Amino acid sequence: MRLHKKDTMEKPTIKTLGELKQSGYQSKSIKDELRQNLMAKLAAGEKSFEGIIGYDATVLPQLERAILSNHNINLLGLRGQAKTRLARGMVRLLDEWIPIVKESEINDDPMDPLSHFAQSLIAEKGDDTPIEWLHREQRFFEKLATPDVTVADLIGDVDPIKAANLKLSYADERVIHYGMIPRANRCIFVINELPDLQARIQVALFNILQEGDIQIRGFQIRLSLDIQFVFTANPEDYTNRGSIVTPLKDRIGSQILTHYPINRDIARAITNQEAKVSPKLAAKVHVPELVKELLEQIGFEARQSEYIDVKSGISARMSITAYENLMSTAELRLLKSGENKTSVRMNDLMGIIPALTGKVELVYEGEQEGSEKVAEILIGNAIKTLFDEYFITIKKLAKDDEYSVFDELTEWFINNPGFELLNEAKDKEYYQAIESVSPLNDILEKYQPNISAEDKPFVKEFVLWALVEYKRLSKKSFAEGFELEDNLLGRI
């Protein structure tokens, strides 16, 4: 996981139970580990969860309270809300190393063994019982709940081959083949998409959560498993695909609601942290600040679009992959032109459409429009929103002086027909074309006088695209680029 400090403690050299006793080692439950290490971090003024952005005042305090309460946890939220990342982040609150009985299938604590194997071994060898050390990174188990998951997968089953080889009765504990949950003893165990788990399988978790025993093939084995359970669920799953059965919900200590970024600044920080862009490419492609705002605003527009089933969620991954596609679009132009550097252009936004269409679920009206058309609508709405914020809201019938600079711009296109911007134009040609539209200088001077020189060409092109969205200009696309001209009908 990103942003984690490196572990500094070396692996302990203690190799036997006797040495462990002499060291003064004290056993503790995994929930006490999490609680005590969280308390130590908070007392030292350290962040409890690293790499988590936008949850400092909402989700993280709830999660910290749940850990302090020794609760099993259900993270409830739409897709792309860092639920799994939060669960994985809990690993950093574990002790770096814990001792286990060597070759134990269920990570038996040498000081408090659970399995028949570990108990027999300690009875036979006493203080000479060999132990080994388990690193915290090995103490995270994860299972995606799907309808085909069985009790045997999670809890275990009788192994007839083992019974035959050892000549044991099926009632003997030694014939059990342990499932994922017993093997996750003293670990964090995450079940993702819990409502997708069949109700009868959820019922099998009751005793594990509350009493700590398991039942396999009609006989009961008392195993006081020591597990920190974390469940994740999408709220829509309660009605669409399944539900969490009420007694199971009752046994989960804390349910924590996650959410999407509440503003573009937080969304930008997430994208900046998560997007995979090589340093070499980042050095070659300048990304104006406004385009970063645009990418995030597209996500906000999607979450309120009439064409999209917003209840299914608009993952933060949409902006992340869109940013990666945007950089690749600019890189492709560099490779074709043979130039060393470039800057993102407005038309590069057409390159992010594949990142948008796969991240949204369309309602009937959206299906009628088509996924690519909906993506273009989202981009257009984002352009209008940011134009309203950074420039001015254009009213169709307005004639006052406030709009005079935009009237000059539309008149420029009347007097200069056939203005084109080519997709593969080299930077020099692109800048010359943008600079030729002289009224854009007055618009930027009036509304955005502090724009950096590097960002100016993009912002100027952004103004042109915004006027297209407001029907003050018309844009005709063709294979090599697009042409802009005055839209007289849009100004009437």
How far is Cα 207 from Cα 453, in angstroms, rounded to an integer?
A: 66
Residues near 404 by beta carbon (within 8 Å), at least 6 away in sequence: none
What is the structure's pLDDT at 397? 46
Name the phi and psi angles at 252, rounded to 5. Answer: -90, 120
Q: Is 344 exposed, middle or buried (0-12, 13-18, 19+ CB in 10 A)?
A: buried
What is the structure's pLDDT at 9? 67
What is the structure's pLDDT at 167? 67
Q: What is the pTM of this model?
A: 0.86
Q: Determine the 3-state secondary structure of 83 from DSSP.
A: helix
Question: In the chain, which residues fall in CATH 3.40.50.300?
Answer: 17-257
What is the structure's pLDDT at 2? 38
Q: What is the pLDDT along the chain (492 residues), one digit of tens a residue?
A: 333 445 556 889 999 999 999 999 999 999 999 999 999 999 999 999 999 999 999 999 999 999 999 999 999 999 889 999 999 999 999 999 999 999 999 999 999 998 888 999 999 999 999 999 999 999 999 999 888 888 888 887 767 676 666 666 656 667 777 889 989 999 999 999 888 888 888 888 887 777 666 666 655 566 788 999 999 998 865 444 568 888 888 889 999 999 999 999 999 999 999 999 999 999 999 999 999 999 999 999 999 999 999 888 898 899 999 999 999 999 999 999 999 999 999 999 999 999 999 888 999 999 999 999 999 999 999 999 999 999 987 765 455 556 577 888 988 999 988 899 888 899 999 999 999 999 999 999 999 999 999 999 999 999 999 999 998 899 888 878 888 888 764 454
Question: How far from each other are the two terminal CA atoms of the chain, in whole angstroms?
Answer: 56
Question: In the chain, which residues fall in CATH 1.10.8.80?
Answer: 260-390
Name the phi and psi angles at 342, rounded to 5. Answer: -155, 175
- Please state the CATH superfamily assignment of the domain spanning residues 17-257 in this structure: P-loop containing nucleotide triphosphate hydrolases (3.40.50.300)
Q: Where are the alpha helices (DSSP H) in 44-115?
A: 59-68, 83-89
How far is Cα 120 from Cα 117, in angstroms, rounded to an integer?
A: 5
Q: 319 and 298 in contact (C-beta within 8 Å)?
A: yes
What is the structure's pLDDT at 1? 35
Q: 11 and 97 in contact (C-beta within 8 Å)?
A: yes
Adjacent-strand bridge partners of 220? 215
Name the phi and psi angles at 285, rounded to 5. Answer: -115, 120
Tokens of 480: 């090599």
Q: Determine the 3-state secondary structure of 338 from DSSP.
A: coil
Which phi-psi region, left, alpha or beta, contains residue 238 (left: φ > 0; alpha: ψ -120 to 50)? alpha
In CATH, what is the architecture of 260-390?
A: Orthogonal Bundle (1.10)
Adjacent-strand bridge partners of 336? none
Q: How many residues does the chain have?
A: 492
